[in-house]
Structure 1
């Protein structure tokens, strides 16, 4: 018997960062966000199309309208929320997208709330400005303490890399994809 509402996290491809298991690194050639916005329109479209299916629920905690536009255009459903609000709604989401930092809650508390709001196999996409070396590590540690797994690292750059050429990437955003794994190695939800 299969559960039609269960969606597995995407299987990423690309280079990998050593770990248990290794975490793939993917380069997305998308424009940088403007001003105080979390992402560009192209980033919103890539996140929605790569991490959700039609009619899936997306929780938008990002600054700017880019993700909402992508959700509407791709026929997904969304809850547009401020991170500090009390409830994100009773229905579990397939994708939660947020900038960083997230507000008043501690990072672990925030990720515990995310985990409780995700379907098994659902993802949290955390968008970080590129350049702070320690910040992605701190985010991953907090997410793991909350029971989320580190699935993929996306590097967003203005120019795409060219095969066979050494290209200096103009990286502007690191996107950490975290997942509520359907099953842990021990058999429990994790």
Structure 2
């Protein structure tokens, strides 16, 4: 039996990186970070709980104590590096590395090469960007891909969501790019 009304899914448009399939975009209703901080407490909790399991290792490269609080509350382990250059990440590979953007002292590709070297296969790097510059996420994704990381998910953090029946725009404050080290390693890293 054939279904004459069967329709194929629409072809996705709006690729962030031309030629790559689009990644899922998720909206998280979380408060905006305070001035001088990378994230709110709620954002830290969502990242830790959504991307790690108990006793997983997390490398904290963000400004502010929010991620550290979430790590402790969720019984994860961490290398807390906020307010210091990213040195001494330890010998053990991490499940999650969280960083703000832009970077202070490293080139993007070099930073992502270091992240990739310190991630377990399947581990993630969460890059938090202030919302607004439409080209910045593309630049981050391109640098990550050159370092051998894959673009897994885009999270849009918004202060308030539109209410049912109302036409309102999201109050987006942060874009979170989730990059991953593939479980299946290819022969090398290239651009």
- TM-score under structure 1 normalisation? 0.85
**Counterparts of 2:20 and 2:183 in 1: how far apart (Å)?**
17
* Residues 108, 95 of structure 1: alpha-carbon distance in 2 compared, 3 angstrom cutoff: same
The reply on whether 1:106 has 2:117 as its aligned counterpart is no
Aligned counterpart, 1:166: 167
Q: Determine if contact 1:30/1:156 at 8 Å carries over to the other structure.
A: yes
* Greater Rg over alpha carbons, structure: 2
Aligned counterpart, 1:179: 180
Aligned counterpart, 1:147: 148
Aligned counterpart, 2:98: 97
Structure 1: segments with no counterpart, 5+ residues: 1-14
The reply on whether 1:43 has 2:43 as its aligned counterpart is yes
TM superposition shift of 1:164: 5.7
Aligned counterpart, 1:126: 127
Q: Determine if contact 1:156/1:173 at 8 Å carries over to the other structure.
A: yes
- TM-score under structure 2 normalisation? 0.85
**Counterparts of 2:30 and 2:13 in 1: how far apart (Å)?**
20
**Counterparts of 2:96 and 2:14 in 1: how far apart (Å)?**
23
Structure 2: segments with no counterpart, 5+ residues: 1-11
* Residues 58, 29 of structure 1: alpha-carbon distance in 2 compared, 3 angstrom cutoff: same
Aligned counterpart, 1:7: none
TM superposition shift of 1:16: 8.3
TM superposition shift of 1:102: 1.9
**Counterparts of 1:59 and 1:146 in 2: how far apart (Å)?**
18
Aligned counterpart, 1:62: 62
Q: Determine if contact 1:29/1:159 at 8 Å carries over to the other structure.
A: yes
Aligned counterpart, 1:78: 78
TM superposition shift of 1:101: 1.4
Q: Determine if contact 2:161/2:171 at 8 Å carries over to the other structure.
A: no
1:92-113 per-residue CA deviation (whole Å, 9 max, x = no partner) reads: 0000000011221100000000
TM superposition shift of 1:21: 3.0
**Counterparts of 2:164 and 2:124 in 1: how far apart (Å)?**
30
